[in-house]
Amino acid sequence: MPPIVGISQCLDDRGRWRQGRDYVYVDLAYARAVDDAGGSPVHLPVQRTPEDLVSRIDALVIPGGDDFPPEDSSGYPEGVFDPTPEVQIDFDSRLLAAALARRIPVLGICYGMQLVCLRHGGRLHHHLPSDLPDAQLHALPEDSGRHPIQVSPGSRLAAILGDPASPVNSLHHQAVEEAGTGLRVSARSPDGVIEAVESEGPDFLLGVQWHPEKLDGDGRLALFRALVSAC
């Protein structure tokens, strides 16, 4: 049987999809990429015992999502943050902790990468235009917006993507400022913004700031194939 890859789902508890209802959702592109990479994708909705879910999967994907708002948002433009529900952050954090405890492969994408770094004691740039005004624009058009990345030689990411790596998409306004203990930075954009992190140890724990599931060609499946292979 192909490895079972769990994909966390996003939670809408503010009536954005339908007033008066809580909805879970996730871009189907993640499941399609896992399927095309040889894995068996399973969506994981928010529930009370994420640890039980992790005992039934072979790898975990924490996908893109909403924002981690700062404790004090007074210095930022009004309405710039779309906060992730606390219940979802708690669920995803417990999923991640259980996956790390079991030492199964983990891939964090955008919000997922940021959660991985926060779990390891890292810090975020909450809004790049405010925190790093000299940085290039990172919220680019989904279909055409691309920028190069500089991948660290000898990293797991370099072995997966090759050298040089193809340009990546960029759909974020938050980013990792410090990776955290036990993680190393494995890619940056030309302006120095962190684009990928990975475990300093042997376990497959990789986070990327871009969205590989939305890319074309080899850039779309390389990370997912590596995740499935690591199972």
Q: Which tokens hold the place of 51?
A: 């640890």
Model confidence at 163: pLDDT above 90: no
Give the model's pLDDT for residue 218.
84
Residue among 125, 195, 213, 231 flagged as catalytic: 213
Q: What is the pLDDT of residues 107-120, one digit of tens each?
A: 999 999 999 999 99
Residue among 10, 110, 172, 173 flagged as catalytic: 110
Spans of all domains in the chain:
4-230
Q: What is the pLDDT of residues 31-76, one digit of tens each?
A: 999 999 999 999 999 999 999 999 999 999 999 999 999 999 999 9
φ, ψ (nearest 5 deg) of residue 73: -100, 10
Contact between residue 39 and residue 227 where contact means Cβ atoms under 8 Å apart? yes
Does the annotation count 78 as an active-site position?
no
Give the span between the Cα atoms of 176 and 54, in whole angstroms.
26
Give the span between the Cα atoms of 35 and 45, in whole angstroms.
19
- Chain-centroid distance of CA 162 in Å reads 20
Pairing of strands 123-125, 175-178: antiparallel
Give the span between the Cα atoms of 209 and 112, in whole angstroms.
8
Is the model more confident about 117 or about 218? 117
Residue among 125, 127, 147, 211 flagged as catalytic: 211
CATH class for the region spanning 4-230: alpha beta
Give the model's pLDDT for residue 217.
84
What size, in residues, is the chain? 231
Mean pLDDT, the chain, rounded, equals: 96
Does the annotation count 110 as an active-site position?
yes
Give the model's pLDDT for residue 108.
98
Q: Does the CA dihedral 81-87-91-94 come out positive or negative? A: positive
Q: Which tokens hold the place of 78?
A: 């009004």
Beta-bridge partner residues of 59: 5
Does the annotation count 211 as an active-site position?
yes
What is the pLDDT confidence band of residue 105, given thresholds at 50, 70 and 90?
very high
Give the span between the Cα atoms of 65 and 13, in whole angstroms.
13
| Residues in CB range of 201: below 8 A, 6 or more apart | 182
Q: What is the pLDDT of residues 20-40, one digit of tens each?
A: 999 999 999 999 999 999 999
